[in-house]
């Protein structure tokens, strides 16, 4: 039951983001749309930002299947395509200066995407665990910022080009 309620709240949040800016979404509105009370919301989430992180995770991990054994290119491509396909949601968050929270929500998803094989397969031989973690964090921060600027610039660059640039960069660094 707990998982069902969380999923329902995440789905309602994403639907509301398609219709109105982030700043107009209230806990009361979400709870009402799901037929639950405010206390039920707080049983599952600390606040609306926690819900945003979980909703992104649900959409991108469960719907895009980026947890499965896939290449980092495939996982990142699915992530970027989801961002582009859901530009209304992203814009409704960005236009309300919720950038720090959006970064926080995107960071673990990008980290999962790039760790879907690249670092684990290509760095074992010459990187210590601490160095591998640093590289993963460094690239995740850079890619997160790049994706946000891509969104702010109306997604002009094709997803395939971004993947090609990232692939080139990682190969230069690790090969």
Q: What confidence tens digit (pLDDT) does each residue in 105-164 have?
A: 888 888 887 776 555 555 555 568 888 888 889 999 999 999 999 999 999 999 999 999
Contact present, 110 and 83 (Cβ < 8 Å): no
* Mean predicted confidence (pLDDT) in 66-76: 74
Write down the pTM of the prediction.
0.81
In the chain, where are the structural domains located? 1-47, 64-174
Mean pLDDT for the stretch of residues 24-43: 94
Token pair in block for residue 84: 């582009």
Find the mean pLDDT for residues 60-66.
63
pLDDT for 72 beyond 90: no
Greatest extent of the chain over all pairs of C-alpha atoms, in Å: 54
Give the pLDDT of residue 63.
Answer: 58
CA angle 4–10–15, rounded 5-degree value: 125
| CATH placement of domain 1-47 | 1.10.10.60
């Amino acid at each position: 039951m707990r998982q069902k309620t969380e999923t329902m709240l995440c789905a309602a949040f994403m639907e509301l983001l398609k219709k109105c800016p982030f700043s107009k979404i209230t806990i009361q509105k979400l709870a009402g749309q799901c037929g639950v009370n405010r206390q039920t919301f707080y049983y599952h989430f600390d606040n609306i930002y926690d819900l945003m992180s979980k909703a992104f995770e649900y959409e991108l991990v469960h719907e895009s299947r980026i947890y499965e054994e896939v290449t980092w290119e495939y996982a990142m491509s699915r992530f970027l395509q989801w961002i582009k396909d859901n530009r209304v949601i992203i814009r409704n968050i960005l236009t309300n200066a919720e950038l720090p929270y959006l970064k926080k929500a995107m960071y673990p998803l990008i980290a999962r995407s790039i760790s879907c094989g690249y670092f684990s397969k290509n760095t074992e031989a010459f990187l210590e665990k601490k160095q591998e973690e640093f590289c993963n964090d460094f690239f995740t921060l850079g890619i997160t910022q790049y994706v946000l600027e891509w969104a702010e610039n109306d997604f002009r660059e094709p997803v395939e080009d971004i993947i090609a640039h990232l692939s080139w960069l990682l190969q230069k660094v690790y090969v």
